[in-house]
A and B are shown apart, each in its own frame.
Chain A
Amino acid sequence: MIATAIAFYVFASITIAAGFMVIASRNPVHSVLFLILAFFNAAALFVLMGAEFLALILVIVYVGAVAVLFLFVVMMLDVDFAEMREGILQYMPVGALVGIMLLIELGLVLGAWVISPEAGASMAAPMPDIGQVENTRALGRLIYTQYAYLFQTAGLILLVAMIGAIVLTLRPKNPRLKRQVIADQVGRTRAEAVEMRDVEPGQGL
């Protein structure tokens, strides 16, 4: 038990520290790397809570796809983040005020929290025992049966996102657009594709 507690505090404190460094570090690439560190530690926290499916999804989707995409964007776009941050002090008082108000509201809400005896009865699906049904199977059972409607709707939302991205960015008449023409690829012969050169040592082409 004590080992779990120690692990929790280690992972939690690293997550918070990494989260702070995301907004505090001057170099945007470092920020993204700290973000990845925060994701990994959050995944570890999920494992501690017995939610291994969520933990893996977090690593695969957020670290593997989202954060790496961020990294590419940050490296490819030449944005001067130091300049962007200049006005931050100006907005600080308003932001701090809103934050404090939200914190007080949260405190009020949590202070009044009582779990009503009826709440247990209205639960959609009780959490199965982790020893018998692992997360992935439990989720699969629910998503593809009881929540199939929502699952399909989510699919449609992704379809809209895809159509939107294509409609707003793709220009079919753009001369720089390179399309795959399979016939051309198959029709290529060795003579067109390969060229033999004699390369002198130490000189290169």
Chain B
Amino acid sequence: MEHVITTLPAFGPAMPEILLGIGAIVLLMFGAYGRENETRIVLIGAIILFLVAALVILGDEAGRVETFGGMFVSDAFTRFMKLLILFGSGTAMMMSHSFIKQEGMERFEFPVLMILATLGMFMMVSANGLMAVYLGLELQSLALYVIAAFNRDNARSSEAGLKYFVLGALSSGMLLYGMSLVYGFTGTVAFEPIANLLANGETPIGVVFGLVFILAGLAFKISAVPFHMWTPDVYEGAPTPVTAFFAGAPKVAAMALIIRILFTAFPTMLAEWQQIVVFVAIASMVLGAFAAIGQNNIKRLMAYSSIAHMGFAMVGLAAGTETGVRGVLIYLVIYVVMNAGVFCCILLMRRKEGMVESIDDLAGLSRNQPMIAFALAMLMFSLAGVPPLAGFFGKFYVFMAAVQAGLWPLAIIGVLSSVVGAFYYLRIVKIMYFDEPAEAFVKPVPGEINAILTVSGIFTMFFFIYPAPLLVAAQYAAAALTP
């Protein structure tokens, strides 16, 4: 009888993940065996869990550390992305607090599934090999499918969940097909060995095929054109806080994954993937700008807006440089914060008979709730990219990176499509301030929503006064990725 001796891997770098995993299971047990209606406590517990995880990440000062046989990596880039994901998930969790009570979907599984989805996103961000990528992605997606259909007595919510599931399964299939090709032609699933193998000698055609399929699968997750078809329907059908969640954290995680894969596994294939990223960026920006014009449902409008914003973020990625990655990171932070604020405003669109989602319902908001109308107007100007608001700086850094990399046409198309996009953002401002007032929304505004809206509004308006912390952090994170 022979024995194999293995040493325990270092758990320290994965502390946030371990914390979230154990926390989710503990809260699940608490909800399942607690008395009736423990949802409130589980939800608050989940928010505290996120705060603790954020503190653990902030306290981690180490450089690049790999653990679990090199399948898990922790560095400045993963910490930056995880904090942003925690912000997105945490705000969505807070937004859902009063919503799930009002809509009769108050069940303790909701926060638990959101924790598990966040855990999946963490694993995606920290993945250092194709297998870890896939498992993290599936953990995230599976939890998201269930949350989309969480309001199961509502036909549109169920439809959203089912549609998301079927198309998500298709994209996972493409991703796996690509991964199997890459594995077949390189003989390894770890990122650095793939890069080392590709560095010497010609790139086999199978790896190019595999890369295309992997990018297609991941483009689906950030809803980039031409894999965006699910977005408007899912965003419209899913409960509003869930839509806010979908528009923020999962996109950050998928974008982090795309950056990580392209920069650590395929840095030598820049010429090949740059074409794809440029095409996807242009198509997303243009389609997002034009398709949103005809929308009257504000959640559908935000869906097209998010498609366009992912296109803008990919402009920085297309540059293929450290400056480009820094631009993407800054863009994502600003996008997630603005997005949280806008969805707070959408959650306030409630009349006596229930939630309303039409843009015309916003008419007269400037008279009924002037502060909220002002905040929403600022957010809309910022989404459109009007200086000196935060949204302008996001676009500025990605376009600068593209210009520095010699991608002039891409930057010009981006600027032009953001001009087109400004039309529908400014239309909302016009409806709020100049149209015939409609019936007022129900007051009072829940405290947590007010708080998020205030933070988002202040960040958007005053970012230009003191942008240094974000710029430095993004610079540091991008540098960790490109040695």
Residues A113 and B138 in contact in the complex (CB < 8 Å), given A168-B146, A168-B152: no
Residues of A within 8 A of B161 (CB): 168
Residues of B within 8 A of A123 (CB): 187-188
Residues of B within 8 A of A10 (CB): none
Q: Does A156 contact B (CB under 8 A)?
A: yes
Tell me the bound Cα distance from A152 to B135 in angstroms.
10
Tell me the bound Cα distance from A161 to B169 in angstroms.
14
A167 x B109 contact (CB < 8 A): yes
Residues of A within 8 A of B146 (CB): 160, 163-164, 167-168
B197 x A108 contact (CB < 8 A): no
A160 x B187 contact (CB < 8 A): no
A163 x B185 contact (CB < 8 A): no
Instruction: Write the nearest CB–CB distance from B73 to chain A, whole angstroms.
Output: 12
Chain A: which residue is nearest B204 at the CB level?
Answer: A112
Within 8 Å by CB of A118, from B28, B69, B200, B206, lies B200
Q: Does A149 contact B (CB under 8 A)?
A: yes
Binding stretch for chain B, among A21-29, A58-66, A139-147:
A139-147
B109 x A141 contact (CB < 8 A): no
Chain A: which residue is nearest B192 at the CB level?
Answer: A122
Q: How many residues of B contact A (CB 8 A)?
A: 49
Q: Does A153 contact B (CB under 8 A)?
A: yes
A122 x B136 contact (CB < 8 A): no
B149 x A168 contact (CB < 8 A): yes
Q: Does A1 contact B (CB under 8 A)?
A: no
B185 x A149 contact (CB < 8 A): no
A167 x B107 contact (CB < 8 A): yes
Q: Does B377 contact A (CB under 8 A)?
A: no
A116 x B201 contact (CB < 8 A): yes
Within 8 Å by CB of A163, from B4, B113, B132, B197, lies B113
Question: Which residues of B, 103-117, contact A by the 8 Å Cβ criterion?
Answer: 107, 109, 112-113, 116
Contact mask for chain A residues 109-130; partner B; CB cutoff 8 A; 1 contact, 0 none: 1001111101110111000000
Instruction: Write the nearest CB–CB distance from A134 to chain B, whole angstroms.
Output: 13
Chain B: which residue is nearest A111 at the CB level?
Answer: B205
The count of A-to-B residue pairs whose CB atoms sit within 8 angstroms is 108
Within 8 Å by CB of B197, from A112, A118, A147, A168, lies A118
Residues of A within 8 A of B150 (CB): 167
B205 x A141 contact (CB < 8 A): no
Chain B: which residue is nearest A154 at the CB level?
Answer: B135
Q: Does A159 contact B (CB under 8 A)?
A: yes
A146 x B69 contact (CB < 8 A): yes
Within 8 Å by CB of B142, from A108, A148, A157, A166, lies A157
Within 8 Å by CB of B139, from A141, A149, A160, lies A160
Q: Does B119 contact A (CB under 8 A)?
A: yes
B135 x A150 contact (CB < 8 A): yes
Residues of A within 8 A of B196 (CB): 118, 122
A147 x B69 contact (CB < 8 A): yes
Within 8 Å by CB of B113, from A141, A148, A164, lies A164
Tell me the bound Cα distance from A109 to B107 in angstroms.
49
Interface residues of A, dominant DSSP: helix
Q: Does B193 contact A (CB under 8 A)?
A: yes
Q: Does B9 contact A (CB under 8 A)?
A: yes
Residues of B within 8 A of A146 (CB): 6, 69
Within 8 Å by CB of A150, from B21, B107, B131, B145, lies B131
A105 x B209 contact (CB < 8 A): yes
Instruction: Write the nearest CB–CB distance from A54 to chain B, whole angstroms.
Output: 17
B149 x A149 contact (CB < 8 A): no
Tell me the bound Cα distance from A58 to B335 in angstroms.
47
Question: Which residues of A, 10-35, contact B by the 8 Å Cβ criterion?
Answer: none
Chain B: which residue is nearest A141 at the CB level?
Answer: B4
Q: Does B264 contact A (CB under 8 A)?
A: no
Question: Which residues of B, 4-25, contact A by the 8 Å Cβ criterion?
Answer: 4, 6, 9, 14, 21, 25
Tell me the bound Cα distance from A160 to B190 in angstroms.
26
Residues of A within 8 A of B119 (CB): 156
A119 x B187 contact (CB < 8 A): yes
Chain B: which residue is nearest A164 at the CB level?
Answer: B146
Chain A: which residue is nearest B138 at the CB level?
Answer: A157
Question: Which residues of B, 190-234, contact A by the 8 Å Cβ criterion?
Answer: 190, 193, 196-197, 200-201, 204-206, 209
Instruction: Write the nearest CB–CB distance from A138 to chain B, whole angstroms.
Output: 10
Q: Does B408 contact A (CB under 8 A)?
A: no
Question: Which residues of B, 139-197, contact A by the 8 Å Cβ criterion?
Answer: 139, 142-143, 145-146, 149-150, 152, 161, 181, 184-190, 193, 196-197
Chain B: which residue is nearest A168 at the CB level?
Answer: B152
Q: Does B393 contact A (CB under 8 A)?
A: no
Chain B: which residue is nearest A163 at the CB level?
Answer: B109
Instruction: Write the nearest CB–CB distance from A141 to chain B, whole angstroms.
Output: 6
Question: Which residues of A, 69-116, contact B by the 8 Å Cβ criterion?
Answer: 105, 108-109, 112-116
Instruction: Write the nearest CB–CB distance from B35 to chain A, whole angstroms.
Output: 13
Tell me the bound Cα distance from A147 to B205 in angstroms.
29
Contact mask for chain A residues 27-53; partner B; CB cutoff 8 A; 1 contact, 0 none: 000000000000000000000000000
B205 x A108 contact (CB < 8 A): yes
Q: Does B71 contact A (CB under 8 A)?
A: yes
- What are 18 A-to-B residue pairs whose CB atoms are below 8 Å? A113-B185, A116-B186, A116-B201, A118-B187, A146-B6, A146-B69, A147-B71, A149-B9, A153-B123, A153-B132, A153-B139, A157-B139, A159-B25, A163-B113, A163-B146, A164-B146, A166-B109, A168-B152
Extra 8 A-B pairs, beta carbons < 8 Å, given A116-B186, A167-B152: A108-B205, A116-B197, A116-B201, A150-B71, A156-B116, A156-B119, A157-B135, A167-B150
Closest 5 CB pairs of A and B: A119-B187, A164-B146, A149-B68, A122-B188, A153-B135
